Structure 1
């Protein structure tokens, strides 16, 4: 399961019925998607994290944690996956709760195979942009975490629009040293200009660290 985070085209099937898991797994495998099957919500939670991609096909009524409770946990953990709810008990309150929790579709067993496949494909495509933004933000955070404390301090001041001379004065450094830090920061973050550097950071939904007092 170690490569879950790398595959957008994986369908996670969580259902306590082995027959249902196998049926859906066989269906999606036949159309070029990859299935991963789990007998319970807790089993899925053991392997999922914020990097997990793909689509979640989720039963509502299961022993232990219900499908709706699993939705709540995923939301609390900040895990963004399109969720397709399947159930043999299509009562209105469950439908409303599932949709409010972010489910993209609610299918009652027995469901039409093509309807399920269409929903899976549409959901994955709609979420690709969200995942791309998250992946970008994570990569930028990792790169910023790799900066030295001095580089992060310079980045914070660059983010406030400080010119090199002012940064040098405030940090009691030479202008050449500040220029060296700036060049290193831009290299590590893959920026070709200060404007591009700020754009990289802001697009990731981040702000440079607050400059020291």
Structure 2
């Protein structure tokens, strides 16, 4: 089973290795809109809930480069976290755009104090600290969707004998996703290439030259 988990989609393909070295496709499925970007969207929805849609809209409109930097900062944190950090530690700290802090500094204490996250989120100049229990919720929907898709494919009669999972795609680099899949499918041989994000591109290039 090849599981390609990108930012926007989950693509699952099951191939059978034939005796002559060729492959036969047993199953193919694509689920749009449930990739790693769902974690980012949950984070932005979280900020919007605290500071308001107008503030977030103004920041995105007037500080486009800084908005991209903030997205990259969260992406970097997202791709470095493991299950231990979001299930067994109290807080996670990460960098956040200084210009965003400047925009919300007048209302940051009041906005957070008035929200349900007053004890779960702290924002200072260039740095944020969030409770792990809140951060965990950002991952819950995409992780569950990926698992449900894989479980449904394994339930198909033609792939019942599949024993190996190959994880590729950008979100497959996430230690949280890797550990989650390993826990959910302990009886499967799970392979994750060192450069899972570009494995598909490399494979396409190799295939094109053969």
**Length-normalised TM-score, structure 2:** 0.28
Higher strand share: 2
Q: Which has the larger radius of gyration?
A: 1
